[in-house]
């Protein structure tokens, strides 16, 4: 591998120099600037093809932004991290490379490795963890997998994009130690182990300098200290100044066609503000990226076509990752005839010997009622699951298996009923069930330019219109077709889009008006245009013509960009929420067991804004409590990308965290609930009981700034310190926690400073997989910072083992030297801290089973 890589680098370097020598200044400057939203210009004279980029991270959207070009949708990054399995992340990356190649994409804009500093961070679902080590190793697996497939990975957002409020301008004030030990650490690990071909610099500032101009962190740290040799691409519209961006180490300004590079950069060279040599350095890196991805003739691609992994089954992999990601945080026996089930406190802060015998009666999961004649499935998300997060991470899945469909398919002999309860969505879902729709694009003279069948009522394009359509010839789009209502009564329709909208249903005009955005964030306006509702009385089974005519008006994303978004929403006649909850309670009472799916919505968890609370939206908490009171065999599945409050968690025997589970959601859920597979996940982030308990809740800048005052104390590092110093609150579930379907005893631990060997025994009755975690806890400090300045312990390594009932397995865990180091602010360098440490083998950060001491000097 290494030989091939260095041979490739040498051959590529020769080809790059040759190509560079043939380029004039204007072409070079043009190569550093997007020619449109997703691509760089081709230069046929030197055999350079146009480089195509696309988001990530759960799938590859491609150049379109719509259902016409569907993608495999894997579970959310939080889910991938919950597998604690870098090899599985690598397999995910390989599948994404396969998807990229299928769609003509050379560079994937992922993974996102910012940290879970606060659970309020809007893009929390898109990042991996609160822990830099776990983030780094999962991210490195992902990058290696994408690049195994010959596609470039873009590690983002470098650095400090840990929240969304004022994201374009916020100045995050981060002291050197937390910057190095936390926020830069995953980037460093990934750059040094997986050698990504690209990095994306963030919108925000760090310590007063915007990241697309941050010479100290880009040229100094990323390239200088860590040896990053790839290309640095700006986040979309993040590059603001020609000279400062080039000097700050930026190579590519996106999106085009008008950026601070291109013509403005050529002009800056001509009038002496920058030297042509500086432009050449950036062009070299772009040409190297092209060479690596097979876009530069005469340069061998980094991965020979014969070595590219092929024929990966996307559906099977999406299902496997989802199963492995589900975190079973609670699984107690079902207690009949009692209103509430009590359990052991989930959090123990002292190591406890393993004593728990196999419990009787059986725990709620896997679902075991005999017979299982009737299963009540409850919650709007059970039918319409949120399988992926919003914003730029959106892809259009090739299919979605809902929890309801998955359970019905797996339980052919059981009556599986559905009740929505109280729908938490505040927006009307896009029209789908009962609709046959097609989008037609017209010129100003009424000529038909293009026609595309629609998967649902959302018509969106960013960067590319259907063939035959341009931003210059497009005048009107009509979404038209038929609708056959399943139920009679008052149906709700919703229209959204920036422009003129006219909705006709069954020949009646229901809406006809111009509509303007309701936000200043142009991406937000594009992603979530304001919605306008109308109602219509319809008859069940009677097919009607439906047409939504849209005349777009300019968006703030720029008149030159081919962008378009408008949508038709639809909701069937609904019970009012009180009646909906009553109906769900009745269904629960009459069933042998109940599965309730609760969820966040697009409005509560997405890109472009932060969360304002962790409560489940709508009346879902009430729904769970009422249903649990009606049937003690109630299992709750949480469909959210990041933590939510679960005030009812001790009222139900089992709680399964399902994240945004990807397109195979329901199939994977059935596998786990029915016990053909155990849920394999462990929490990659602490799950607070209440927002008020979370250590970091400040995500809104004050005067344009956020001071990261907590220093190195985020996530479990902060929870542990508070538990020690103030007897502060315990979280609902700690970092690393997660139950399978068997039990484990930790039998022995041998440790040196370089490695730990842990023997565990499967003491349960089923085969299982265990994530053996190793934490490092400083016991004294000979030469380190004062105890109060160091976390009590931190994750130093982990490994996954499997064992049959009664069998033992050994986990061999290498402990990186880095685990013993701190960033010494006075010296401006890393320093190994001598002293005595406990090496702890654990099931979670609070469930520590064995400890050994090592002294390092």
Site of interaction with ligand BGC (CB under 6 A): 55, 109, 156, 235-236, 392, 523
Q: Would you list the DSSP string of 370-436?
A: SS--EEEEESHHHHS---S--GGG---BS----HHHHHHHH-TTSEEEEE--S---SSPPBS-TTEE
Indicate the residue among 205 and 392 with the shorter CB distance to ligand BGC.
392
Per-residue H/E/C for 88-113: HHHHHHHHHHHHHHHCCCCEECCCEC
Query: Alpha-carbon distance 578 to 585, whole Å?
Result: 11
The residue number whose beta carbon is nearest to ligand BGC equals 392
Indicate the residue among 199 and 652 with the shorter CB distance to ligand BGC.
199
Residues 6+ apart with CB under 8 A from 380: 420, 421, 422, 423, 424, 425, 599
Are the beta carbons of 258 and 558 closer than 8 angstroms?
Answer: yes
Indicate the residue among 122 and 679 with the shorter CB distance to ligand BGC.
122
How far apart are CB 564 and ligand BGC at their closest, in Å? Answer: 15
Take residue 164 and report the two structure tokens written for it.
């969304």
Indicate the residue among 256 and 679 with the shorter CB distance to ligand BGC.
256
Query: Alpha-carbon distance 792 to 716, whole Å?
Result: 9
How far apart are CB 93 and ligand BGC at their closest, in Å? Answer: 16
Out of 235, 671, 693, 792, the active site residue is 235
Indicate the residue among 91 and 156 with the shorter CB distance to ligand BGC.
156
Indicate the residue among 126 and 478 with the shorter CB distance to ligand BGC.
126
**Burial classification of residue 781, based on how many CB atoms lie within 10 Å of its CB (0-12 exposed, 13-18 middle, 19 or more buried):** middle
Of 399, 391, 401, 460, the C-alpha closest to 127 is 391
Q: Would you list the DSSP string of 795-828?
A: EEEEEEEEE-TT-EEEEEEE--GGGGEEEETTTT
User: Which phi-psi region, left, alpha or beta, contains residue 140 (left: φ > 0; alpha: ψ -120 to 50)?
Assistant: alpha
Take residue 149 and report the two structure tokens written for it.
């497939």
At 71, which helix (H) or strand (E)? none
How far apart are CB 657 and ligand BGC at their closest, in Å? Answer: 24
Are the beta carbons of 40 and 51 closer than 8 angstroms?
Answer: yes
How far apart are CB 524 and ligand BGC at their closest, in Å? Answer: 10
How far apart are CB 607 and ligand BGC at their closest, in Å? Answer: 7
Query: Alpha-carbon distance 158 to 172, whole Å?
Result: 12
DSSP conformational letter for 226: T
DSSP conformational letter for 685: S
At 843, which helix (H) or strand (E)? none
User: Which phi-psi region, left, alpha or beta, contains residue 62 (left: φ > 0; alpha: ψ -120 to 50)?
Assistant: left
Indicate the residue among 63 and 452 with the shorter CB distance to ligand BGC.
63
Indicate the residue among 237 and 368 with the shorter CB distance to ligand BGC.
237
Are the beta carbons of 562 and 462 closer than 8 angstroms?
Answer: yes
Query: Alpha-carbon distance 162 to 707, whole Å?
Result: 12
How far apart are CB 454 and ligand BGC at their closest, in Å? Answer: 22
Indicate the residue among 167 and 677 with the shorter CB distance to ligand BGC.
167
How far apart are CB 563 and ligand BGC at their closest, in Å? Answer: 11
Indicate the residue among 199 and 327 with the shorter CB distance to ligand BGC.
199
C-alpha dihedral over 194, 200, 205, 211, to 10 degrees? Answer: 90
Indicate the residue among 521 and 693 with the shorter CB distance to ligand BGC.
521
Of 754, 745, 712, 761, the C-alpha closest to 852 is 754
Query: Alpha-carbon distance 335 to 56, whole Å?
Result: 44
DSSP conformational letter for 254: -
Q: What are phi and psi of 35, to 5 degrees?
A: -90, -15
235 part of the active site: yes
Indicate the residue among 147 and 417 with the shorter CB distance to ligand BGC.
147
How far apart are CB 156 and ligand BGC at their closest, in Å? Answer: 6
**Number of C-beta neighbours around residue 762 at 10 A:** 24
How far apart are CB 464 and ligand BGC at their closest, in Å? Answer: 13
How far apart are CB 673 and ligand BGC at their closest, in Å? Answer: 34
Angle between helices 314-325 and 665-673 (to 10 degrees): 50
| Sole residue written with tokens 């650490």 | 185
Are the beta carbons of 601 and 424 closer than 8 angstroms?
Answer: yes
Range 401-435 burial, b when 16+ CB lie within 10 A, else e? bbbbbbbbebbeebebbbbbbbbbbebbbbbbebb
Indicate the residue among 235 and 650 with the shorter CB distance to ligand BGC.
235
In the Cβ-directed half-sphere of 457, how many Cα atoms lie within 13 Å? 27
CA angle 157, 33, 172 (to 5 degrees): 25
How far apart are CB 236 and ligand BGC at their closest, in Å? Answer: 4
DSSP conformational letter for 40: P
DSSP conformational letter for 676: S
Active site residues: 235
């Amino acid at each position: 591998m290494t030989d091939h890589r260095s041979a490739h680098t040498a051959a590529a370097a020769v080809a790059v120099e040759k190509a560079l020598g043939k380029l004039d200044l204007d072409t070079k400057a043009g190569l550093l600037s997007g020619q449109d939203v997703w691509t760089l210009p081709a230069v046929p004279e030197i055999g350079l093809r146009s480089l195509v980029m696309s988001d990530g991270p759960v799938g590859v959207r491609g150049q379109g932004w719509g259902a016409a070009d569907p993608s495999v949708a894997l579970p959310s990054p939080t889910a991938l991290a919950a597998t604690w399995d870098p090899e599985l992340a690598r397999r995910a990356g390989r599948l994404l490379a396969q998807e990229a190649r299928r769609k003509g994409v050379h560079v994937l804009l992922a993974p996102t490795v910012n940290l879970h500093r606060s659970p309020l961070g809007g893009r929390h679902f898109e990042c991996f963890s609160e822990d830099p080590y776990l983030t780094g190793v999962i991210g490195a697996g992902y990058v290696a997998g994408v690049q195994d497939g010959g596609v470039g990975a873009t590690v983002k957002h470098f650095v400090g994009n840990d929240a969304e409020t004022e994201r374009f301008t916020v100045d995050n004030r981060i002291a050197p130690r937390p910057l190095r030990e936390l926020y830069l650490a995953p980037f460093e690990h990934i750059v040094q182990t997986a050698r990504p071909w690209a990095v994306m610099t963030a919108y925000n500032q760090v310590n007063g300098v915007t990241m697309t101009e941050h010479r100290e962190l880009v040229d100094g740290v990323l390239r200088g200290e860590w040896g990053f040799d790839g290309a640095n691409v700006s986040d979309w519209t993040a590059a603001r100044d020609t000279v400062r961006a080039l000097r700050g180490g930026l190579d590519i300004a996106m999106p085009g066609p008008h950026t601070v590079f291109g013509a403005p950069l050529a002009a800056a060279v001509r009038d002496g503000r920058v030297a042509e040599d500086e432009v050449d350095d950036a062009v070299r890196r772009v040409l190297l990226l092209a060479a690596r991805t097979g876009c530069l003739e005469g340069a061998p691609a980094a991965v020979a076509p014969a070595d590219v992994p092929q024929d990966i089954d996307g559906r099977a992999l999406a299902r496997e990752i989802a199963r492995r990601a589900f975190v079973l945080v609670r699984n107690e026996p079902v207690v009949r005839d009692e209103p509430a089930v009590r359990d052991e406190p989930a959090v123990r802060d002292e190591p406890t010997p393993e004593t728990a015998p196999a419990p009787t009666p059986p725990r709620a999961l896997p679902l075991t009622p005999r017979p299982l004649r009737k299963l009540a499935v409850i919650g709007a998300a059970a039918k319409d699951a949120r399988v992926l997060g919003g914003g730029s991470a959106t892809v259009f899945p090739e299919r979605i298996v809902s929890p309801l469909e998955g359970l019905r398919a797996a339980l052919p002999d059981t009556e599986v009923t559905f009740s929505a309860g109280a729908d938490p969505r505040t927006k009307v879902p896009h029209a789908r069930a009962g609709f046959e729709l097609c989008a037609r694009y017209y010129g100003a003279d009424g000529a038909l330019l293009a026609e595309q069948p629609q998967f649902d009522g959302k018509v969106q394009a960013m960067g590319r219109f259907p063939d035959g359509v341009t931003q210059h010839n497009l005048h009107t789009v009509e979404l038209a077709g038929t609708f056959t209502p399943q139920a009679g009564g008052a149906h709700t329709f919703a229209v959204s889009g920036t422009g003129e909208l006219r909705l006709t249903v069954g020949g009646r005009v229901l809406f006809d008006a111009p509509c303007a955005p309701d936000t200043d964030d142009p991406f937000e306006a594009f992603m979530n245009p304001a919605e306008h509702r109308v109602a219509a009385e319809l008859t069940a089974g009677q097919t009607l013509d439906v047409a939504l005519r849209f005349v777009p008006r300019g968006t703030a994303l720029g008149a030159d960009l081919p962008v378009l978004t408008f949508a038709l929403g639809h909701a069937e006649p609904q019970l009012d929420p009180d009646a909906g909850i009553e109906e769900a309670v009745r269904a629960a009472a009459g069933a042998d067991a109940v599965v309730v799916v609760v969820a966040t919505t697009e409005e509560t968890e997405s890109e472009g804004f932060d969360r304002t609370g962790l409560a489940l939206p709508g009346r879902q908490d009430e729904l769970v409590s009422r249903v649990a009171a009606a049937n003690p065999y109630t299992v709750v599945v949480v469909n959210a990308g990041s933590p939510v409050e679960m005030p009812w968690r001790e009222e139900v025997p089992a709680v399964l965290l399902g994240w945004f589970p990807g397109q195979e959601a329901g199939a994977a859920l059935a596998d786990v609930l029915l016990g053909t597979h155990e849920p394999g996940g462990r929490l990659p982030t602490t799950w607070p009981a209440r927002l008020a308990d979370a250590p970091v809740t400040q995500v809104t800048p004050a005067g344009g700034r956020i001071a990261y005052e907590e220093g190195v104390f985020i996530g479990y590092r902060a929870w542990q310190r508070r538990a020690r110093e103030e007897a502060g609150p315990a979280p609902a579930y700690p970092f690393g926690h997660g139950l399978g379907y068997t039990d484990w005893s930790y039998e022995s631990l041998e440790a040196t400073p370089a490695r730990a060997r842990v023997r565990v025994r499967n003491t349960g009755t089923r085969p299982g997989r265990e994530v053996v975690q190793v934490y490092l806890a400083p016991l004294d400090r000979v030469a380190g910072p004062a105890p109060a300045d160091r976390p009590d312990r931190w994750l130093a390594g982990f490994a996954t083992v499997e064992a049959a009932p009664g069998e033992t397995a050994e986990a061999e865990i290498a402990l990186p030297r880095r685990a013993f180091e701190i960033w010494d602010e006075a010296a401006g360098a890393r320093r190994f801290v001598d002293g005595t440490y406990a090496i702890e083998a654990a099931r979670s950060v609070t469930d520590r089973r064995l400890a050994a001491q090592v002294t390092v000097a």
